[in-house]
Amino acid sequence: MSLRAFPAPADASGLDVTLCAERALHWPAHATLFVADVHLGKAAAFRAAGVPLPRRSTQADLARLAALPAQTGARLPCFVLGTRRAILPAFGRFTGLAFVSPGRGERLVAVAGSRLFALPPVKKGQAV
């Protein structure tokens, strides 16, 4: 997937941001990516209540979300969990800017505010 984006007009935002067709806003000066109304698990809750909705919609959203940081350079603190190591994100706000790539069979769990999100497994050769 390639990033489809264009700079937002300066008079509209007052900031140097990029609007992404993947439904995100990228703020390069702070390596930050903004998304809204993610609603993870909402489709499953509706299906449980009898509303017919397509399966795997959450996985597709997570895959799209997981690809955006690599395409924009934005970062989220992540736990890297494997059978031989566990790497925790830095506790302090001004540390922990090192990039760590998961190894074979390791999982990533992203921290977004006060929530944790298991990310889809990284495919061989995929940038993280």
pLDDT tens column, 41-92: 788 888 889 998 887 777 778 788 878 877 787 777 888 888 888 888 777 6
CA distance 8 to 124: 34
> What does the buried/exposed string (b/e) look like for 40-60 if buried means 16 or more CB atoms within 10 Å of the residue's CB?
eeebeeeeeeeeeeeeeeeee
Q: What is the mean pLDDT of the chain?
A: 77
Task: Give, rounded to a whole angstrom, the gap between the first and last alpha carbons of the chain.
Answer: 14
Residue matched to tokens 């997570």: 62
* Predicted model pTM: 0.54
Tens of pLDDT, residue by residue over 11-39, are: 556 777 888 888 888 888 877 888 888 77
- Give the whole-angstrom CA distance, residue 56 versus residue 18: 29
Question: Which pLDDT does position 1 carry in this prediction?
Answer: 44
Task: Give the pLDDT score at 49.
Answer: 92
Residue spans per domain, the chain: 1-74, 76-128
DSSP annotation of 34: E
Question: What is the rounded average pLDDT of the residues 99-111?
Answer: 81
